[in-house]
Amino acid sequence: MPTSQNHNASISKHKFHARPELSALSVAISLTVVALIFLFQLWDFNPRVPVSYSGDGLLTLNGLRNMRFGGWYWSTQKLGAPFGQDFHDFPAVADNYNLVLLWFGIKIFRNEVLTFNLFFFGTYFLSTASGFIGARMLRLNRSAAVLVGVVYSFLPFHFQHGPAHLYLSAYWAIPLWAAFLLRELMGESISPFTQSSFRSWFCSRSTLLVMLISLIAASTGLYYAFFFLLLATGVLFVRRITQSVSFEWVPVSLSIFLATSVMALQYFPIWLYQKHNGNNLSTFVRSIADVEYYSLKISNLLLPVYGHRISLLADFRDRANHVFLIGEGADALGLFGSIGFCTLLIVLIVKTAENQRVFFKSLAVFTLLAVLISTVGGFSQFVSAFGFTQLRVMARMSVVIAFPSIVCSVVLLDRVLRNRNRIIRLSFLLIVGTLALLDTNPGHQISSYKETAKSWEQDRSVVARVAESFGSDAMIFQLPIIPFPEYPSVVNMTDYEHLKGYLHSSTLRWSYGGVKGRDGDWQKSLSEDPKLLVAELQQLHFQAIWINRNGYEDRGALLIEQLSSLGLNLVIKNPNLLVFGLNKTAL
């Protein structure tokens, strides 16, 4: 795609200077602070109580607690008793950059919950900063870049995945590599290749920047790394077709090679483990139907966010959900992003002015590539037909599509305001940004802090009583028996609830958490007869039975009666938990 000078008012033609850039970035961060305080009502928030205390949030806290009391998130002897827990079969592949940040946080604060909370809210600041930098890489002026950064940071995708999907919420690297690829499409590479002096090009600061972007792209989320490789390949294909100068494809080729290599290095320990212990595919159960169900739907990009502040729009979204392929529902762009997205689709089929063609066409081609890869019946569906179904939620491409869409909307808005007084212009940008955030962020973003804190304290108290009653190093068997990881809800008990005990004790050992397909399957052989089960647990030196009443239709009434008839002592009883002692004289 040939290079063209863009005279759009929102495109800055001046060189970068550190002081004004940092000043503008500080404004973006300040706006993010204000938005976080009001949207998340942080005045009620206790940083030492996890912002997410259910579902996948518990799984993430499991890994962070492993980090605190061990070397890495891989393993602990406190779960999956008596064998222990090992995450090599269920790894966070291509998340090492985020994991290292979390590891440092745990070492500094010595508290995985505080680190968990700070990291989640920190992803908003990182997303704002990278959105600003990405917009500046595309030569938007500073005020426009501030708007891009803030709006991009507060996408519905962010709070809907939230702390429960902590690594998905850390999508902050996307604007960096998206801007890099967009610059390549524009024919304005951030590191143009000079064939006459390969060594000087390879060692230049701009090429080192490409390497850094590739490294970050490959280590801040498996989905995002995968999207980067697919889109980089698509950009490379487009560049090879449209290039007017030889070797313009070299920077993208280098980035693909580096990103692939970094991903392979992160997978290497897992490969070694599985080579020694054999493959274990039972931890991942994915089908081609899952890929179709969770593929991107253009309608979901344009529909209002769930629970919109305006009841009419909320009802409209609910009615639109009466379809089969609902998906995750975290892909709304909001009105502001939707305007940009639709504009880019139109740009593909209409003729634009020469001074705007390269910029808008590049955004449009990039967006089209993303849609073709991830939409229902698209490229991802074709790939899944060959058995590659592990990355099933292709709708997560929406967070990639959001960046060029928001950039497009901001550029259009800036064009409308280009002849206005600076004060009026900045005020209007602030108003539009505020409305965009209110549009994409409903009032109920996270569970009640007070209810979460109450549940946290109740569980902490129960675990303390267990340690006092049975010893600080006791082994606790947990019922109902639930495979780990990824298992559907059992009655009213959601997945990973059995991990709560581990989060409140560094010494007690818990039966839950052994990975299925490995030693964790030993519980399948246990008897269903309470008398035989108790005898088996005593032989394995378990000191207590922990029962989650939410996992039983009768709230555990029958089990209480059966265990009591065997002479077991009910040590702890509360609305959700029962703990029986396993003394050897009970039988």
pLDDT given at position 463: 96
Largest CA distance in the chain: 88
pLDDT given at position 380: 74
pLDDT given at position 387: 63
Per residue, the 3-state secondary structure of 73-122, as one string, reads CCEECCCCCCCCEEHHHCCCCCCHHHHHHHHHHHHHHCCHHHHHHHHHHH
pLDDT given at position 585: 44
In this structure, which amino acid lies at residue 309? R
pLDDT given at position 317: 85
User: 139-186 pLDDT, tens per residue?
Assistant: 999 999 999 999 999 999 999 999 999 999 999 999 999 999 999 999
pLDDT given at position 495: 93
pLDDT given at position 201: 79
pLDDT given at position 289: 76
User: 199-237 pLDDT, tens per residue?
Assistant: 887 888 988 999 999 999 999 999 999 999 999 999 998
Q: How far apart are CA 370 and CA 228, in angstroms?
A: 10
DSSP state of 185: H
Q: Token pair for residue 74?
A: 């891989």
Please give the chain's pLDDT, 587 residues, in tens.
Answer: 444 444 444 555 545 678 899 999 999 999 999 999 999 999 999 999 999 999 999 999 999 999 999 889 999 999 999 999 998 888 888 899 999 999 999 999 999 999 999 999 999 999 999 999 999 999 999 999 999 999 999 999 999 999 999 999 999 999 999 999 999 999 888 988 776 677 887 888 988 999 999 999 999 999 999 999 999 999 998 887 776 566 678 889 999 999 999 999 999 998 898 889 888 776 667 777 777 888 888 989 999 998 888 889 888 888 877 776 777 888 999 999 999 999 999 988 876 666 567 899 999 999 999 999 988 877 777 777 666 667 788 899 999 999 999 999 999 999 998 888 888 888 999 999 999 999 999 877 788 899 999 999 999 999 999 999 999 999 999 999 999 998 999 999 999 999 999 999 989 999 999 998 888 888 988 998 999 999 999 999 999 999 999 999 999 999 999 999 999 999 999 889 999 999 754 43
Q: How many helices (H) and strands (E) does the chain have?
A: 23, 7
Main-chain dihedrals φ then ψ at residue 490, nearest 5 degrees: -110, 110
- Number of residues that this document lists for the chain: 587
Which class for 548: exposed (0-12), middle (13-18), buried (19 or more C-beta within 10 A)? buried
For 207-240, b/e burial (b = at least 16 CB within 10 A) is: beebbebbbbbbbbbbbbbbbbbbbbebbbebbe
pLDDT given at position 210: 93
